[in-house]
Structures are given as C-alpha cells and as structure tokens.
Amino acid sequence: MKILKFGGSSVGSPERIRKVVQMIQKAYEENPQIGIVVSAFGGGTDQLIALGQMAAKGKDFRAELKGFFARHSEAAKELVPELGAFYQEDFHQLEKALKQIAGELSLKSLDLLMSFGERLSALIISKAVQKVIPNAKFVDARDLIKTDRNFGAAKVDFIRSNEEIRKRLKDLPFVPIIPGFIGSSKENEATTLGRDGSDYSAAIIGAALEVEAIEIWTDVSGIYNADPRKVPDAIPFAQLSYEKAMEMAESGAKVIHPPSIVPAREKKIPIWIKNTFQPEDRGTLISSEKPKQVFLIGAGLIGSSLLDLMRSKNLRLIGLANSRSMVFKPEGIPIEHWKGCLDSDGEEMNLGKFIDKMVDLDEGNAIFVDCTSSQEVADAYEKILDAGIAIATPNKKANSGTYKQYKKLQKKRSSFFYGANVGAGLPMIAAIRDLVEGGDRIHKIEAVLSGSLSYILNRVSDGVSFSEAVQEAQKKGYTEPNPQEDLSGFDVARKLLILCREIGLPLEMEEIDLEPVLEEHLKPNQRYIASWDQGCPKVALQSIGPDHPFFQLQANENILAIYSDFYPESPLIIKGPGAGAKVTAGRVLAEIMRAK
C-alpha cells in the first residue's frame, strides 16, 4: 500500500484537481491499495484565519465568507455538477462556528475553523475521484488521528491513533480520501497538527498501516540545494537520509513538515517528494538506505537509455561525461536534467581528471559505468578497480584485449560486471560462468552473437538490399558506432573470444578464424555463426535449413547453444534480442544494482 498526499498548490483550482484525479487513477491502476491525503485548497487556511479574526473583532465577515463559499461551490459544480450542493451542511456548520466567536479568537475555535479547509477539500475531491474510482470514499481524519487538547499544535496519541487507523483503513475495499492537518481530542473537539501538518497526517497514517512508501506531491521536484523559486539553477537532491532531510526542514526547507519524517523513519518507510506539475521528474527520496554513487562515461544511445532507467532506482548520479564534457555534483545530478547540466555546468572532458575526481568523491559505494566503446577508457579499468571502485560496462575492449590483461581484471571479478559484453541483455556470460562454477565441462558452443547482423541478414532474406539493411540497422541503434566493426566480423570475434575465455580457454584474438561479411557472399537463409568445438574458434557465414535451431531467428535476435556434460545431446539454449540500447542498458542497470 502507498499513501499519496497532495498539497494546497496541487489542489488550488478545478483544473489542478482534475490533474490530481488523473494521477490518483493512474496510481490506482498500478496498485489499488492506496490512500489519499489532501490539503485545503491553496490559500484556504489563510482565508479561514482571516474570517475568524474578523468575527472576533465584530466585523462583518459575510462578503468574505461568501467568497470562500463561492470558491468551493464553483469548484464542486465544475468537477461534479451532477451531485448538486452536497457540501451545504459543511457551509452551515462553518457559518455557525463563526457566529459563535465573540470578542476573542481562541485556539480551540481557530482549530475548528481551520478544519473546514481540509474537510471541504477532501469532500469535493472524493466526489471527483468517485467518477473514475467508484469505491473512493471520504474518511474524516478526526475519526483517525487522536490528539491531546493542545490546540494549534496538538500532540498525537499514537496508541489510540494507530488503533483507529488500522481498524478503519487496513485491508478495506475502498480508496480513502482523507483531509490532512486535522485530528480530534478525547472530547471529539477538532484539533490541528500545526501549519503544513498534512504531511504529518500522511506520515502518521502511513506508519500505522506500515505502507511501502509515502509520496508527498507538491509544486517542486524534490528538496533542493537552494530555494528554486529564488535560485534558477538550484538542483534537487536525488536522495537524502531521514536525518539530513529533517535537518534541512528544521533549517527552513519548506518542502516537507519536519515532524512528518519521524513516523516514517521509525517504520523505515521511504518518503518521495514529487512534483504534481512535472510528475515525470524523479524527485527526492528520503530513506535510511545509502544510495550507490554512479559515475557514468558515455551518454550516447546506451548511456542515455541507462539514465532513463535509473530514474526509478535508488541511485545518485555524481559524475557524468561524454567525449567533450564532464560534470560532477556531489549532491547528485538530476537525471531528468542531465543534458542541461552537462552542457551548462560541464568542463572539458579529461579521463585522468575524471578518475581522480571520482576517487576523491567516493563514499565507499561508488560504481563506474562505461557506456563507451573506447579503448582508452577500457585501459583505465585496472586503475579504477585498484582504487576500490566497482565497474559495470557493455564495453568489450578490456575483456577482448590480451589474455594477460583479461586475467588481471579477473582478479577483481567480484567488482567487475560485464554481462552486457555479449548478448546485450541476454545472460550468456552468466550462463557459462554458472555452468563452469557448478562443475560442468563445456565441449562446444555455437552462437549468433550480432543482433545487427541478424537483422541485416533477415532483411536481405526478405529482399531488401544489403546497403539499405545496414542503414536500417544503424538507425535502430543495433550496430556498433562504426557499422564496419559489425560487417568485418571483428565485433562477433570479440564476443566469441570473451565466451571462450569464460569457459577457461587461454585464447588470443589472432587464434580465431574470422571471415567477414561480404555482400557478394550473401544468400538467403544465412546466419553469421560463431563456434568453438574443441579446436579452432571460428566466425563465418553459414547457410542453414529449417531443421537448424538457428533457422527461426527473428529480427535482431541472438542465440547461444551450449553443449556440455550436463547438456550433451540437447543443448542449453539462450535466445532473445541481442541488440538495442534499452535491453543493453537494462543488463547494465541490473549489474549496477547487484554491485556491492
């Protein structure tokens, strides 16, 4: 279950409420176990305080009250015109409470007045949500959150509150729409939790129900290193500890109410600070888990796909570089704005300086990600691993260099993640490694290891010209940056070399019998097959018939057949898309998350 809280700026107008309703609907479709906490309409609490002050001074407040009523009735009529004046009883109660104020505005009376802001907001929003989620239901927070009689900043009775929340909300078949900020005393008097207390309401309810996450939806994309309304280039933190977030809130960061963090911290519930108006932004995660520090070189097709995938993970992008620029932000580069940061804040790229800076900023959980095809970057792996920094990479250059260099890197195997070297997102290297470590003996492998060449050969079989097929593969991002590396067969040879080395063979590149893909040799129903069978490893075009296991390969698929003691007759087959930025990035991300 999740709790979603929407602040006053998020529900400040019918248009904004419609957006919130759409977001609630989307969250419900992903997981119907949600609870919603809402603030008063933006500025509503201040209006109620002003009304109370006018009443206490004996001033005529009817015009101002009429304006307050009009704002809410017009919103209701625009959102749910078919329901009529369902809010009228609350209007009567508010007017009665104002008329009972004489001479002095007590904190008790003020709490009662202020409670109408959240109550009316939640009532109207619940009716709007019911149009898309029929089992949505208004639930009065005064029945859930029990407090003392310290009006204005009431202290929560957590024992009674947790009991009421669990009794009324746990495992019930409806979506509760709950007013934030308010509770009630033992005498059933309305109380408030302090200004901006709706965050606290969400945290109290979330902690009682032990939800998986609390989302605070506001008008900024997280907690920033400076006030984004005053500092245009302020940057949101990707993640903060509970303690750091509380420290910042107590020092004036207004995004979250300081007490809200305590119940979540006690139950280790993560809090997300998100932007209602830019919901695609990652926001700030507040939790006890320390995020991995990611230092990424290469922001091309694979690198940019990886950055997109990283947005939903507990990772902090600290350093980023392409061939021209590099940028570092210890507090975290906002992933949704990485291009702008690299362009506006970047300095000239220098690999040596990048590595030195990475080592300086490493807090003990850094991982270096190489999404280039650069030999220079691959040559730096040993230095990076020796500095105690893990590596995840699809770059094949390091593992397909000399066997001596390969063996050096294998000494740091527990920190070196290169599953995407062969097969893009397919677990080809992992399969061979698991068999060998499990005591199996591999006799033979056959494979199609180029998604780009699979695509090209399939298209040629379909009657497309060779040059057109190559161009299509390049546009789809299937080829290496230089397609000639695919056509020469050298890229496939590199992959075969890596697989053979994983089997335990001390091979060098020049030992592979390599035949390039030449247009004049092409025929229908050919596959570019890499193989090893107790002898010389070979890469060559082969014509195959319908009875061959590789005959049915589609589009950009790769396949690996492993014959071994465990699989002597019917080989272990691994098959699937073997090219494409997204699948490759997915494999790299999995290894980033696996790194310790």
Tell me which residues are annotated as active site: 495
- DSSP string of 412-472, one letter each residue: TGGGEE-GGGSSTTS-HHHHHHHHHHTT--EEEEEEE--HHHHHHHHHHHTT--HHHHHHH
CA atoms of 336 and 334, how far apart (whole Å):
6
Q: Residue 271: beta bridge partners?
A: 214, 286
CA atoms of 41 and 19, how far apart (whole Å):
14
End-to-end Cα separation, the chain, in angstroms: 29
Q: Which residues contact 205 (CB under 8 A, 6 or more apart)?
A: 3, 35, 37, 144, 145, 165, 169, 178
Helix axes of 107-130 and 88-99: crossing angle, nearest 10 degrees: 170
Q: Residue 182: beta bridge partners?
A: 192
- DSSP string of 230-248, one letter each residue: T-TT--B-SEE-HHHHHHH
- The SS3 call for residue 161 is helix
Q: If you ran DSSP here, which 8-state letter would residue 226 be given?
A: S
C-beta of residue 179 within 8 angstroms of C-beta of residue 202:
no
Note the Cα 462 to chain centre separation in Å: 40
Q: Which residues contact 300 (CB under 8 A, 6 or more apart)?
A: 322, 371, 372, 481
Short-list 591, 590, 584, 456, CA closest to 526: 456
CA atoms of 490 and 513, how far apart (whole Å):
11
**Cβ neighbours, 10 Å, residue 59:** 11
CA atoms of 372 and 297, how far apart (whole Å):
7
Structure tokens at 315: 């990772």
